[in-house]
Amino acid sequence: MTEEKKDNLFEKKISRRQMLKMTGVGAAGVAIGASGMGGILSAFGRNNAVEEDKTNVKNKVKFYGKNQSGIMTPSQTNIYFASLTVLVKTKAELAQLFKDWTPAAVKLMNGETVGDVTNIMVPPADTGEAVGLDAKNLTLTFGVGPSLFKKFDFGDQKPKELKDLPHFPKDQLQEEYSGGDICIQACADDPQVAFHAVRNLIRIATGRVSLKWSQAGFNAIPMKNGKPETPRNLFAFKDGTENPRDAADADRVVFIQSGESKSWLTGGTYLVARKVQMHLETWDRTALDEQEATFGRHRDTGAPLGKTSEFEAMEIDRKDKNGENVVPETSHVFLAKKANVRLLRRSYSYASGVMDSTGTHDAGLLFISFQKDPNQFIKIQNSLGRMDKMNEYITHRGSALFACFPGVKKGSFIGEALFNTL
């Protein structure tokens, strides 16, 4: 090959590389101009077209409905929870963010990619790690934190209940695991599907949000006679025994009814997220009877102490033959029941490596609860207080509260009721 031909070939290679680079820059430039936020959404094609729930999809949960998915939906085996910081400056940009997320969320819950992945001249619209997997019962739940209402003037639309949770006894909260403007809870029966969903939603919002904190978690759902049983936490006790089991009970405990809060939250709920470190090494050196006295339940069956079935009434005032409480007054369940309020627990275990300072497991519970009023959680947590024997084995490291929107009607978008009040 002559030197002249080599030079020409080299120029062609450089030209192609430059062209690809310019294509990427151009796409980002279009996004900056379109959104005013420096996002890269236009690189993937902004599309607010109405997407359909695909009824023929395997392991599919519906996106549209009265309430958001991922609340009363039967628990899946995995979660990826993300707390985000909003970077946009106007309510119009914020509304557009939720408009952009809506069709993408439907596609993700259909088990589809969020956009075109065939054009090799630009970055793929979807990151691709869930290709070949089905929907895996993916649910996506969106909420907004009290800090969002400090950044944007929503007039009188901030609910009085939406404020940072108070400091509770024994809290050792870390800022890096607390708060946030927006949350996305992705639950699925595959960890990669859950992570993929959040990853792509954040990618769509590039330049408009940043990731504040996140936590992956897992559950094992035992099956008996074809029906799911209550999952166990890392202390091996069942978690979620007294949850609402039907729609009528959920309306009483979980979902905000008309007149109970701001109108845009009707059909919505409040999500409490707490990152709870569990001191497994200490627990593992504790005798079984002491473990059961700490919870107030039998470990294997989940039954209240002195009973045989998981779903028997707790009845904390029961006495033994010596006149002593069957369920110890310092047990977790006794103190929680004493608050006389209920909520929906939807917690997941986590294992995040090793605590550098101690060489112990960095593991525990991503406690998540849903309730129509945060005071339901606050009353229980205050009742637990310093007396809860569980405090010997856990430390609360993170805390956040979010108001979760009602469900989305087809043709609408996530959170539309809030923006329609302005």
What's phi and psi for 375, nearest 5 deg?
-65, -20
CA distance linking residue 315 with residue 329, whole number of Å: 12
DSSP string, 408-422: --TTS-TTHHHHHT-
Mean pLDDT for the stretch of residues 397-413:
97
Which one is predicted more confidently, 359 or 178? Answer: 178
Instruction: Report the pLDDT value the prediction gives residue 275, as an integer from 0 to 100.
Output: 98
Q: How much is the pTM?
A: 0.89
What is the structure's pLDDT at 6?
46
Q: What are phi and psi of 39, to 5 degrees?
A: -75, 170
Phi-psi region of 314 (alpha: psi -120 to 50; beta: other; left: phi over 0): alpha
Q: pLDDT of 30-41, one tens digit each?
A: 333 333 333 344
Binning pLDDT at 50, 70 and 90, where does residue 312 land? Answer: very high
Q: Looking up tokens 């695991």, which residue turns up?
A: 177
Instruction: Return d(Cα 80, Cα 194) in angstroms, integer.
Output: 6
pLDDT at 11: 43
Residue 357 has what pLDDT? 79
Q: At what angle do helices 191-204 and 91-109 cross, to 10 degrees?
A: 150
Query: For residue 170, what pLDDT is reported?
Result: 87
**C-beta separation of 181 from 144 below 8 A:** yes
Q: Write the CB contacts of 87 (distance below 8 Å, at least 6 apart in sequence).
A: 37, 207, 208, 209, 210
Question: Is 342 a residue whose pLDDT tops 80?
Answer: yes
- The pLDDT score that the predictor gives to residue 9 is 44
User: Tens digits of per-residue pLDDT, 165-181?
Assistant: 999 988 999 999 999 99
For 48-75, write each residue's pLDDT tens digit.
Answer: 679 999 999 999 999 999 999 999 999 9
Question: What integer pLDDT is reported at residue 29 of this predicted model?
Answer: 36
Tens-place pLDDT, residues 184-229: 999 999 999 999 999 999 999 999 999 999 999 999 998 888 888 9
Its sign, for the CA torsion 407, 240, 60, 351, is: positive
Note the pLDDT of residue 48.
63
Cβ contact 304:315 at 8 Å: yes
